[in-house]
């Protein structure tokens, strides 16, 4: 046979290529290439004769950079306005100065809710709440056949609050344009989280995301990292570097009130962001419901309701519009700071229940009039007399104003921040110090590690 007509075995060519040159090629990668060639997905005549891997990688980098310049899908950039005190009395006809704060990236809340109800995970949503009971045999000797019944609370959709809200929306009036609508009415249980995060160990780069979960979904499903149950809602901006220069030029007492003014403006920014999120479309859906074609192909009238907001203490202070570690430091009650050591006692629980925190709307409106119209300081004596006893601040709460709810009622315990990274971490560190003090050589610490 003429050797010029002989073709090399393709298997030999692939084997020689895999075992020569770079030693970084694994058997798995070579087998993957063979599978791709075997299935006909790549043909030799389709490959550019001038193909170069470096040039191809550079082209892909350019495409990735062009994609990254666009906002996330569904996100848009917005600018919010916050009122800034002037430190002096307004003249007749003069308006309070508003300052723009750019850089808010957020999704439209109603659009996000529609997307969530149409995604595959919505197949596991609970639209109708129910009660759960646990029955155990009675310990009474004279009636062993009787059962002790105990109510069990395990999910948002079997809580009393969810059941009451579900019953409430059934009786709400419809918008005149929707008169006669007989679609099933359901509640969308919104649960929010937010946490300001530093992006690097060095520098000032940070991000302040807001997440949303659906309480209609089981907590066991929500807790799975790969479930896709967490939805990014917004990225809260910070006051820009130019903000201080802008306010300094217009405030008569900036040098002596700088710290108070900046703290006040940060609170204003947080609630300006939430007013933007809780827009008119959301408020219309909140009152009249929004018709959504759900994942199962059934159209329902969905009423979004905010049930919980989880955040660390510094953010809870902003959300509850109270001062940080004031005379009444708890966002949920008016327990005084000098009684914090009684925490866990029976009397402490009774006091927290009887002295629940209520949003002081009238006091806030009065003090804001003094600050913005009459030029009072944010922490002037008159303002402090009104607000300090309850640790309130002169900021209008977006949740109270827009949704007419008590902000304290939606703030829930955050175990990670309030215990695992706070109390327990400090206690653990202190225990290690005690062990080292008792045995400097560290033998007790080694025993502690074994346990």
Calpha distance 78→97 (Å, rounded)? 19
Calpha distance 383→374 (Å, rounded)? 12
Which pTM was predicted? 0.78
Calpha distance 393→324 (Å, rounded)? 10
Regarding predicted confidence, which is higher, 266 or 444?
266
User: Sorting pLDDT into bands at 50, 70 and 90, what band is 27?
Assistant: confident
User: Sorting pLDDT into bands at 50, 70 and 90, what band is 229?
Assistant: very high
The pLDDT of residue 259 is 92
3 pLDDT higher than 50: no
The pLDDT of residue 59 is 74
User: Sorting pLDDT into bands at 50, 70 and 90, what band is 45?
Assistant: low
Calpha distance 156→229 (Å, rounded)? 15
Calpha distance 341→357 (Å, rounded)? 19
Segment among 43-57, 252-266, 294-308 with least mean pLDDT: 43-57
pLDDT tens by residue, 96-107: 899 999 999 999
The CA dihedral of 289, 295, 298, 302, to the nearest 10 degrees, is -10
Report the chain's mean pLDDT, rounded to a whole number. Answer: 86
The pLDDT of residue 145 is 65
How many other C-beta atoms lie within 10 A of the C-beta of residue 382? 14
The HSE-up count of residue 240 (CA atoms within 13 Å, CB side) is: 15
The pLDDT of residue 42 is 61
How many other C-beta atoms lie within 10 A of the C-beta of residue 215? 24
| Domain map (residue ranges) of the chain | 10-66, 76-137+144-321, 322-394, 420-450
User: Sorting pLDDT into bands at 50, 70 and 90, what band is 6?
Assistant: low
Nearest Cα to Cα of residue 167 among 130, 220, 140, 218: 130
Nearest Cα to Cα of residue 395 among 338, 321, 336: 321
What's 417's DSSP letter?
I
């Amino acid at each position: 046979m003429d050797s010029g007509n002989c073709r090399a075995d393709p298997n030999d060519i692939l084997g020689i290529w895999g075992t020569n040159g770079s030693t970084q090629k694994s058997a798995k990668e070579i087998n993957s290439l063979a599978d791709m060639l075997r299935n006909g997905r790549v043909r030799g005549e389709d490959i550019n004769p001038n193909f170069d891997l470096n040039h191809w990688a550079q082209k892909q980098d350019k495409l990735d950079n062009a994609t990254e310049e666009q906002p996330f899908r569904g996100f848009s950039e917005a600018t919010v306005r916050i009122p800034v005190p002037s430190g002096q009395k307004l003249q007749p006809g003069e308006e309070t100065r508003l300052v723009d704060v750019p850089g808010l990236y957020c999704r439209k809340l109603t659009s996000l809710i529609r997307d969530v109800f149409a995604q595959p995970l919505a197949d596991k949503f609970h639209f109708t709440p129910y009660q759960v009971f646990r029955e155990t045999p009675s310990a009474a000797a004279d009636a062993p056949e009787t059962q002790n019944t105990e109510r069990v609370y395990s999910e948002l959709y079997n809580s009393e609050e969810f059941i009451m809200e579900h019953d409430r929306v059934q009786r709400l009036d419809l918008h005149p344009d929707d008169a006669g609508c007989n679609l099933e009415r359901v509640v969308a249980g919104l649960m929010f989280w937010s946490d300001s995060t530093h992006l690097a160990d060095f520098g000032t780069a940070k991000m302040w995301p807001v997440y949303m979960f659906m309480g209609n979904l089981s907590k066991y499903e929500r807790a799975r990292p790969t479930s896709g149950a967490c939805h990014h809602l917004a990225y809260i901006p910070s006051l820009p570097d130019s903000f201080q220069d802008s306010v300094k030029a217009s405030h008569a007492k900036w040098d002596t009130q700088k710290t108070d003014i900046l703290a006040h403006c940060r609170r204003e920014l947080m609630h300006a962001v939430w007013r933007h999120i809780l827009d008119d479309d959301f408020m219309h859906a909140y009152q009249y419901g929004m018709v959504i074609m759900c994942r199962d192909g059934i159209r329902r009238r969905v009423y979004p309701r905010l049930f919980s907001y989880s955040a660390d203490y510094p953010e809870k202070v902003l959300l509850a519009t109270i001062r940080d570690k004031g005379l009444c430091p708890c966002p949920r009650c008016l327990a005084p700071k000098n009684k914090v050591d009684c925490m866990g006692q029976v009397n402490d629980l009774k006091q927290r229940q009887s002295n629940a925190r209520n949003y002081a709307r009238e006091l806030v409106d009065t003090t804001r009039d003094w600050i913005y119209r009459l030029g009072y300081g944010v922490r002037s004596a008159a303002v402090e007399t009104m607000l300090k006893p309850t640790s309130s601040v002169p900021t209008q709460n977006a949740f109270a104003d827009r949704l007419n709810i008590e902000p304290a009622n939606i703030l829930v315990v955050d175990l990670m921040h309030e215990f695992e990274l706070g109390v327990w971490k400090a206690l653990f560190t202190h225990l290690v110090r005690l062990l080292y003090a008792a045995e400097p050589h560290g033998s007790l610490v080694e025993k502690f590690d074994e346990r």
